[in-house]
Structure 1
Amino acid sequence: MFTPKMDVKPHWTKLFKGLGELGEEGLNARQRDIDWLLAENGVTYNVYNDPKGLHRPWNLNAVPFLLHESEWKLVEAGLKQRAELLNLVLKDVYGERNLIKNGIVPSEIIYGHRGFLRQCTGIKYSTEKLLSMYAADIARGTDGRLWVVNDRAEAPSGMGYALENRSTTSRMLPEMFSKMNVKGLSGFFQEFNQMLVDASPENKENPNIVILTPGSHNETYFEHAFLASFLGYPLVQGNDLVVRNGFLWMKSLKGLKQVDVVLRRVDDAYIDPLELREDSRLGVAGLLDVVRRGNVAIINPVGSAVLENPGLIPFMPAIARYFLKEELILPQIASWWCGQEKERNYVLNNISNLVIKRIDRTNRESIHFGEFLSKDEIEKLKAEINLRPYRFVAQEKINFSTAPNLTDGKIEPRNLVARTFSIGTEDGYSVMPGGLVRVAPDRDTVRVSNQRGGTSKDFWILEDAASKETKAHYWQPKPSIGATGLNDLPSLTAENLYWAGRYVGRTLVNARFLRMVLKQMVLVQNSSEKPDSVKLQVLFNAVTQLTGTFPGFSEKNKKGEFAMDDPYKEMLSVILDKNRSGSLAHTISMFSNSYYSIRNLWSSDMWRVFENIQKIWRSFEEDSDRSINKIIKVLNQLITRLIAFMGLIEESIMVQQGLLLYFIGLQLEQSTLTITKCRSLLSIKYDEQVEYELLEYLLVSHESLNIYRHSYRSYIQIEHVIDLVMLDLEYSRSLTYMFNRIQKDISKLPHSDTMHHLVDYQKYIFEGFSKLRLANSIDLVKSESKEDVVRKDLDNLLEELSDLLYETSQSISKTYFDHTTKQNQLVRQSFPI
C-alpha cells in the first residue's frame, strides 16, 4: 500500500480514503457483514482432520488487494508467456522430448517426478492448447516486482472462490467498488465456458460437458459445486461415468449418455484405476483409453502434474530461449536443483539459509525452512539429499512484501500470495483480471495456506476509466436448448437425492417421536406414576424399534446392562451419540452428508435453513445442559427447521430434474417408519386405559391428533385410528395415501414407461397398495378369543407391507443406482501419494 518513502501509492488512495471514512467501527461492521453473507451462502473450505469439523466457513478479508492496470499489463504478459511455455513443455514431455535430448532439462527432473505418467506418452489432443488451464501463484518481491512462486497445472483450484469473493465484496463495499473502476470477471468466465465448448472432439455445438469431483469431502468441494451450478453443467463422481466401446458415458436414470468434455478436479494418478492407481475409487476405469482414441477431452490433460515441478524453475530461462527465443518476463525465485554437483554443494553449504523442497509434492509437510531446523534435522536432511539428490531443489528465502489486512479490528501487514488463472484460446492465453489472494494467518507466518488457517482477499485490477462489461445471458452458443430432465440426471446425483429424501424423512419422524416420549417422561417425573409403567415400557421399546438402536430397551446389552433400568441414559444415547447407528445425531450426520453431496442443486434459502439446523445441533452438542426440557426445546427448533427445509426443496429443483427421486425416498421412509410405529403401539393388546393413551401417543407423534378430533369428534378408538393413519386415501399422512403417492411417482421413472408390464418395484408397491385398499379396520382388530394378546391380522398386514417396501427400495436401487464394481489392473503399479 505504501511506497518506500511511506507515501500511499496513487491507486490505493481512494481505498485508503474510503476506509478512513468508514472508520474502525464501520469497517468492522462490513467485515461482520461479509462473514455473515459467506455463511448465509454456505461458502466453505474443507480442512482435513479439523477438530472444528470438516466444513469450515470461508474467510474473506474486507480489505481487497489492489494492482493498477499499468502494472498488471506486464504481469499479464508474463503469465501468458509462462502459460505458453509450459504448454510447449507439456507437449514435449509426452511427445518428442527434445528438451531432454538436447540437454535443456535433465531427464531426472522429468522421469523422477511423480506427475510424469508414461501411460500418457503420445496421446493426441484436439484442444487449442494442450494446457487448457494454468494457474500461477505470484507474490511481490523485495525489488517491487511480482515474482512467480508456484505453477499449478494438474487441476488448479480457486477460480470459483475468486468469483465468490468478487460477488461478496462488490455487495459489501459498493461505494468503493463502484468508484474505483475495478476490472470485471464476467468476460473471462465467458471465455472459460467457450473453451470448454470448443474442447469437444467432434466440435459439437452443444457438447455434453461434466465436472468431475472427488466428492463432498474434498477440500475445495464447494468450488466444484459452485462452478457446476454457475455454468449449468452436471457435477459427477467417478461412479457416475463408465467406459463402453471406446467412449465415455454418463450413467443417467434412463441409461447411458455420451460425455464429450470432462473438467476434472481429480488428481492424475486417481483418474483411471485400470492404468494408474488401482486402489482409486475416484476415477473411471478405461478413461485413458477413451482419451487415446480422441473420443473425449479432459481438461487439463492427464499427466499435467509434471509441470508442478520446482525442479523446472532453474531451467525455465533456458526453456524460454529454446522454445520462444525470449527471456522470461516475470522473475522467479532463485533455485538450485540438487541433481547437479555444483548446485548441490552450494545447497549443502548454505542449507540453513535456504528453503528445501522435493521436486514433487509427495506430501504437505515436505518443505523445510533451513533457518528453523536443528543441527540433527539439518544433518538428516543433508543425508536425504545425498542419497537421492535429483529429488530435491533449494530456493532462496525471500521476504515478500506485505499488504494491509483487517485483523481483530485493526489494519495490520500480512504476507500474501495471489493465484492467477489463464485459459487457452485461439490466439494464445486469456488471463483472469484478478484472481484468488490468500493471506497468512499472522504476522510471522511465512507459508500461506488455507489448510493452515489462512484467509483470502478479493483481487482488484484498477483501470483509469470505467469499462463497459457485458454479462452473458446464456452460456451455450444456442440458447434454445430445452430444459434438462431425468434422462440427464447422473445416477449418483439421483441416488443422493433419493437418500436425502430418506434421511430428512427419518430425521423428522424420529425427532417427533422422541419429543413425544420425552414429554411423557417429564409428566411421569411430575406425577406419582411409576417410571416403569406399562405405557412407558411400550414407548421405550418403540423408540428402539423406530431408531434401530438395538438392543436398546428390548433386552440386556453385552455388558449385562438393561436400558430400562436407566431410561434417561439410554434416551440421551439414542439422541446424542453420533457414533451409534440409528441415533438422531447419526441420522442428522447422514442427512448432512447427502445434502453436501448435491449442494449444487439447492437454492440459497435452502442452504440458510440447512445451516441453521447445523447451528442448532452443534450448539446443543456443546451445551452442558442435558435436561429433558432442554432436549425438548432443541427438538422443537429442529422439527420446525426441517419442515421449512422440506417446503423449500420443491422450490429449488423441478420434479423432472431430480425432485422426483427425493419424493420417492421421502415417502418410502415415512411409510416404513409409520408401519414401525403402528406395529409397536397397535399390534399388542393392553388394558383399556393404557391402550387409549397409546392411541393418543401415536396420533400426537404422527401430528394427527387435531385431525382425528376434527374428523371423528369421538372418544379415541382403535378402528378410527387405523382408518386415519393407515387406510384413508385422502389423508397425506396415511399409509394408503403414501403408497398411492409412491405408486404414481415411480411410474414416472424412465424404466416404468418402457415396459408393457409392471417392473418389479411397481409390482411390490402395487401389491402393498392393493392390500391396504382391501383392508378393513374392524376386521384388522378382531380377535379369535379374548385371551389373544396380539392382533394377528393387523400385525401380519403391517409386516407384509414392511417387506414390500423393502423390496421396492431394493428394486429401485438395483435398477438405477447399481454402480459398476471395481476393476483391477493386470499388472500392479506403485504410485506415491
Structure 2
Amino acid sequence: MPITKTSWLNSYSTFQGYDEMYTSQNTVRPYWQKLLTGFDRLGVDGLMGRQKDIDWLLSENGVTYNVYNDPKGMHRPWNLNVVPFLLHQDEWKTVETGLKQRAELLNLVLKDVYGERTLIKNGIVPHEVIYGHRGFLRQCSGIEYTTRKFLSIYAADLARGTDGRLWVVNDRTEAPSGMGYALENRSTTSRILPEMYTEMNVTRLSGFFQELNQTLVEASPIKKENPNIVILTPGSHNETYFEHAYLSSFLGYPLVQGNDLVVRDGFLWMKSLQGLKQIDVVLRRVDDAFSDPLELREDSHLGVAGLLDVVRRKNVSIINPIGSGVMENPGLIPFMPNIAKYFLNQDLILPQIASWWCGQKKEKQYVLENLSKLVIKRIDRTNRESIHFGEFLNPEELDALKRNIEQRPYRFVAQERISFSTAPNFIKDSLEPRNLVTRAFCIASQNDYSIMPGGLVRVAPGRETIRVSNQRGGTSKDFWILEDQPINEAKIGLWQKRPSIAASGLEDLPSLTAENLYWAGRYVGRTLVNARFIRMVMRQLSMIQNPNEEPNSEKLKTLLKTTTHLMGTYPGFAEKAEKGPQAMENPYKEILSVIKDKDRVGSLAHTIGMFSNSYYTIRNLWSSDMWRVFEDIQKLWKSFQDEEQPSMNRILKVLNQLITRLIAFMGLVEESIMIQQGLLLYFIGLQLEQSMLTIVKCRSLLTIKYDAHTEYDLLEYLLISNESLNIYRYSYRSYIQLEDVLNLVALDLDYPRSLAYMLNRLQKDIARLPQSNHNNHLNSYQKFVFEAFAKLSLAEAATLSQTGTEDHFVRESLDTLMEELSDLLHQTSQSITSTYFNHTDKQNQLFTQSFPI
C-alpha cells in the first residue's frame, strides 16, 4: 500500500536553521512537494529499489573517489543519494548573476596580482594577503595570456547563510574539480528517475559542456581551427583521477602525465610513438607549484620542466594559468566588497561568509577574544586538518592556536561559524535531513562567463556532522535547476570545433599511455599463465596425503621448482634458504605464500596488484563491461585475501574463477580498445610475456631427462598448464611423446598457444609500430624478434629431444635454444622500452626555491 505524502515527513525533524524543503512558514515548497508526490508513486520499496539501482549503476561504471590511506582500499565507490537537490530557476538566476560577477572580479584580481598590482599600491588589499600566500608565484609575474580571460574556469562552494540566501564559502581557481562527477551524477539520476526528471523540467547540462569544449578550443595561442588539447593529470592515485579519465573520454582529449610532455625550442610537445607532437592547450589538473620542476618545486615529478617559459612565449595556453591558486585565499574575502567597488563600481551580489583577516590589529584582537566561537583557517591552507573549530578545542589547544596567530597573524583568517542548510537524504527507509554544500562552476565564454545549470552537491555523512567532505565519507546529490516550462529535448550535437588530436592514430598515442598498455598486456598475460600453472600444481598437491610434508616424488619436486622459476619467487623451491627450513620441507606453506603474499615480488597476489594498477592508469580507454569484469576480479581476490587458512578446494575454486574472469577481461580488451588507441601495444606486451613464460616452462620441465613414467607426467603437466592437452589428443591421437609435445607447444605455426605462433605474431605486430622499418632497415627490436623466430624455425623436435649420449641427462640443444630465445626476447623488451617509453629526461633548477608545506 503506497504511503501518503505526509508520511514521508513523519520522522523528518530539522535542526534549528534552514531546510531546503521548507518555506519560512514551515510549509513544503511546491517543487519539493512535486518530488514527494513522485516518491508516493514509488513507495518506500520502490525508492529503495531506485537507490540500489543507482549504487549498482555507479559500480558498473566504475565511478570512484580516491581516499588516501583508506583501510577499505584507495578506490572508494562514489556515493550518490537518490533524492536530488532542488532549486527553482527564479532563485538560480540571482545566483548565476552573482557567480558571473565574482568570477569576473577574481579574474581581474588575478590579472592585477601578476601585473600592475594596483590593489596593493592603492591600499585596497594588504600586500601580506597576497605575498604571504603559498599560491603566489613570483615566477608568474608579468606573464601575458592570449585567452580572453585570465581565469577560464572558476568554482564556488555555496551554502545557505543566516538570511536564507546562498553565500560563498570558498573560491576554487587553481584546478577546480567536480564537473565530471556532476555530469556522472546527472547521467545516473536521469536514468534511474526518468519520469520525475522529465516531469519537473530539469535544465540540461549539455550546453555547458559544449561551451567548455569551445572555450578550450578558442584558448589556442594562435587560434588554430583544430588545436591539440590535452588533459594533464597527476596520475591514477590522485583523489579525483576518475574525473580526469571521465572528462578525457567524454571530451575526446588525450589524458597525459608530466612524463608525456617535454619542452623543446620554446614549445610544448607530447611524446608520442611517432615522435613529438606540438600541444596548444593544456587543461591542467596538477597543482601550481608542481607544474614546472625547473622553476617551481624541483622535487616534482608531476609537471613539465620549462613549462612556464613556454607560457611566457605565448606558445601554449594553460587552463587555469599557473599561479591562479593565490585566488583560493580566504584572506581576500574581507576585502572583496572594496575590490568590487574598485574594479566594477558595484556591490557584491552574492553574500559571503563573515571573515576577519588577522593581519589587521583590530581584527586580530577580535579574533583572539572570540576564538572559541569562530572557525580559524590558514589563508593558504594545504589540507583539511588546518581548519580549527574553536568550539571543539580544549583550553590547551586554544592557547596553542593563539600563540600561532600572534607569531604570524597574516597567515590566519577567522570566519563566522555558519549553520549549513539541510536537505532530505534517503536513509534506509525514510527521509532524513543532512547538511550540504554546493559547488557551482563557471567557464569563460566570449566576453562573459557561463554557469553550469546545476553543480556538485556534497552531503554530510551523519545528521549532526558539521564538516561536509568526500574524504570524510560524505555522499553527493544531483543538482536540479527547475524551470516552469517543459524542456525541449534537443539532442547533443557535435562540437562546433574538434581538436585534431582527438581523432589521432597510433602514432599520436602519448608515450606513457602506450607504455601502460604494453605493461597491461604483460601483466594480464603473466597473471593468467601463473594462475593456470599454480592451479595445476595445487591439483597435484591435493592428491598426496599430507601436503605439508616434503614431497617424495621427483615429478612433484620438479613442478614446485618450476613454480619458483616461473614466478621468480626465489629462493623458494629452487634452492636452500640461508636461514630457516627449506621450502620443500613444507610445500603447502611456501605455495600459499606464493599465492597470497602481496608484498612478495613475483607472487600471484603481487602480480594481480600490478595488473590492477596498470589497468587503472588507462581507465579512460575502458568500456563499462571491462570495468564490470575488472571489479569482479578485485572483489573475488579481496575476499580470498581476507581468508587466513583457505583449504585446497577453496584455493582451486578461486583460481578457477580468477582464470575465467581474466579470459573474459582479455576478450573485452580486444573488442573495446581500437588499434589506434593502443591495442597494438597491449598485444605486443601480451605475446612477449606469454612467450617468455612458455620458454621458462619448457626449460624447467623438459631439459632434464627423467625415467619414462616421470617424463610422461611432466609432459602432461606442461600440456595441462598450457591448456593444450585436448588439442594434443585431437592432433596426435597417441601416447604423449616429447617430440610431439615440442612440435605442438614450441614449433607449430598454426597453434595460437605455441611459441612459434606467438613469435610470428610478435614479428607482425611490432612491424606496425610507427618507427619500424625506418629507412627500409629493421629496427633493433625487430632484429631481436626476427633472430628469435629464425632460430626457432630452424629447430627440429627430434634434435631438441636428444640428450647426446645415453648416460647424459641434459637435453643441451633444447636448453641452449631456450636460453638464447629468452635472452633475445629480453633484449626485445629493452629495445621497445628505450625506443618508445623513454621518460628519463630530467632538468634541474639553477637555484633552489623552498615551498613550505
Q: State the TM-score, normalized to the length of structure 2.
A: 0.96
Alignment of 1:228 onto 2:248: yes
Alignment of 1:585 onto 2:630: no
Tell me which residue corresponds to 2:795: 775
Distance in 1, Cα, partners of 2:381 & 2:489:
39
Q: Is the 8 A contact 2:227 2:501 kept in 1?
A: no
CA offsets per residue over residues 442-484 of structure 1, 9 Å max, x none?
A: 0111111100110100000000002325343323526999942
CA offsets per residue over residues 673-701 of structure 1, 9 Å max, x none?
A: 00000011001111100000000000000
1:401 to 416, 421, 439: 421
Tell me which residue corresponds to 1:434: 454
Alignment of 1:572 onto 2:592: yes
Tell me which residue corresponds to 2:512: 492
SS in 2 for 1:398: coil
- Superposition pairs of residues 510-549 of structure 1, within 5 angstroms: 510-525=530-545, 531-549=551-569
CA offsets per residue over residues 618-669 of structure 1, 9 Å max, x none?
A: 1111234511110110010010011011111111121122100000000000
Alignment of 1:163 onto 2:183: yes
Q: Is the 8 A contact 1:524 1:530 kept in 2?
A: no
Tell me which residue corresponds to 1:509: 529
Displacement, 1:400? 1.8
Tell me which residue corresponds to 1:89: 109
Tell me which residue corresponds to 1:660: 680
Tell me which residue corresponds to 1:350: 370
Displacement, 1:561? 2.1
- Shift of the 214–404 alpha-carbon distance from structure 1 to 2, 3 Å rule, reads same
Tell me which residue corresponds to 2:219: 199
Alignment of 1:553 onto 2:573: yes
- Shift of the 757–364 alpha-carbon distance from structure 1 to 2, 3 Å rule, reads same
- Where structure 1 has 5 or more consecutive residues not aligned to the other structure, the ranges are none
CA offsets per residue over residues 562-607 of structure 1, 9 Å max, x none?
A: 1001101111100000000000010010011110100101111111
Tell me which residue corresponds to 2:171: 151
Tell me which residue corresponds to 1:798: 818
Distance in 2, Cα, partners of 1:738 & 1:64:
53
Tell me which residue corresponds to 1:745: 765
Q: Is the 8 A contact 2:182 2:456 kept in 1?
A: yes
Tell me which residue corresponds to 1:54: 74
CA offsets per residue over residues 351-404 of structure 1, 9 Å max, x none?
A: 000000010013321000000000111111000000000000000011121111
CA offsets per residue over residues 316-340 of structure 1, 9 Å max, x none?
A: 0000000000000000110000000
Q: Which amino acid aligns with 2:616?
A: Y
Displacement, 1:821? 2.8
Alignment of 1:671 onto 2:715: no
Tell me which residue corresponds to 1:765: 785
Q: Which amino acid aligns with 1:788?
A: H
Q: Which amino acid aligns with 1:565?
A: E
Alignment of 1:189 onto 2:212: no
Tell me which residue corresponds to 1:337: 357
1:389 to 395, 398, 409: 409
Which deviates more, 540-549 or 755-764?
755-764
Distance in 1, Cα, partners of 2:645 & 2:193:
41
SS in 2 for 1:365: helix
Distance in 2, Cα, partners of 1:347 & 1:624:
55
Displacement, 1:540? 0.4
Distance in 1, Cα, partners of 2:439 & 2:192:
23
- Shift of the 90–771 alpha-carbon distance from structure 1 to 2, 3 Å rule, reads same
SS in 2 for 1:638: helix
1:318 to 316, 329, 338: 338
Distance in 2, Cα, partners of 1:145 & 1:558:
73
Tell me which residue corresponds to 2:55: 35
- Shift of the 708–155 alpha-carbon distance from structure 1 to 2, 3 Å rule, reads same
CA offsets per residue over residues 296-323 of structure 1, 9 Å max, x none?
A: 0000000000000000000000000000
1:597 to 617, 620, 641: 617
Distance in 1, Cα, partners of 2:648 & 2:548:
18
- Shift of the 529–160 alpha-carbon distance from structure 1 to 2, 3 Å rule, reads closer
Tell me which residue corresponds to 2:651: 631
1:723 to 729, 740, 743: 743
Displacement, 1:763? 0.5
Q: Which amino acid aligns with 1:489?
A: L
Distance in 2, Cα, partners of 1:38 & 1:206:
34
Alignment of 1:682 onto 2:702: yes
Alignment of 1:243 onto 2:263: yes
Tell me which residue corresponds to 1:287: 307
Q: Is the 8 A contact 1:142 1:401 kept in 2?
A: no
Q: Which amino acid aligns with 2:411?
A: R
CA offsets per residue over residues 192-232 of structure 1, 9 Å max, x none?
A: 00000000001001100000000000000000000000001
SS in 1 for 2:481: strand
Distance in 2, Cα, partners of 1:765 & 1:493:
23
SS in 1 for 2:846: coil
Q: Is the 8 A contact 2:65 2:75 kept in 1?
A: yes
Q: State the TM-score, normalized to the length of structure 1.
A: 0.99
Q: Is the 8 A contact 1:187 1:471 kept in 2?
A: no
Distance in 1, Cα, partners of 2:782 & 2:239:
41
Distance in 2, Cα, partners of 1:88 & 1:793:
77
Tell me which residue corresponds to 1:297: 317
- Shift of the 469–178 alpha-carbon distance from structure 1 to 2, 3 Å rule, reads closer
Distance in 2, Cα, partners of 1:186 & 1:362:
33
Distance in 2, Cα, partners of 1:282 & 1:465:
48
Q: Which amino acid aligns with 2:683?
A: F
Q: Is the 8 A contact 2:547 2:588 kept in 1?
A: no
Which deviates more, 665-674 or 525-534?
525-534
SS in 2 for 1:461: strand
Displacement, 1:556? 2.6
- Where structure 2 has 5 or more consecutive residues not aligned to the other structure, the ranges are 1-20
Tell me which residue corresponds to 2:729: 709
Q: Is the 8 A contact 2:262 2:268 kept in 1?
A: yes
CA offsets per residue over residues 259-301 of structure 1, 9 Å max, x none?
A: 0000010000000000000000000000000000000000000
Distance in 1, Cα, partners of 2:500 & 2:698:
52
- Superposition pairs of residues 254-273 of structure 1, within 5 angstroms: 254-273=274-293
Distance in 2, Cα, partners of 1:383 & 1:756:
74
Tell me which residue corresponds to 1:618: 638
Q: Which amino acid aligns with 1:182?
A: V
1:444 to 464, 472, 475: 464
Q: Which amino acid aligns with 1:800?
A: E
- Shift of the 295–403 alpha-carbon distance from structure 1 to 2, 3 Å rule, reads same
Distance in 1, Cα, partners of 2:282 & 2:489:
29
Q: Which amino acid aligns with 2:214?
A: Q
Tell me which residue corresponds to 1:178: 198
2:136 to 110, 116, 137: 116
Aligned positions, number: 833
SS in 1 for 2:134: coil
Q: CA RMSD in A?
A: 1.4
Displacement, 1:423? 0.2
SS in 1 for 2:684: helix
Distance in 1, Cα, partners of 2:38 & 2:331:
44
Which deviates more, 462-471 or 181-190?
462-471
Alignment of 1:466 onto 2:486: yes
Distance in 2, Cα, partners of 1:232 & 1:460:
26
Tell me which residue corresponds to 1:208: 228
Q: Is the 8 A contact 1:242 1:284 kept in 2?
A: yes
Q: Which amino acid aligns with 2:458?
A: R
Displacement, 1:25? 1.7
Q: Which amino acid aligns with 2:161?
A: G
Alignment of 1:22 onto 2:42: yes
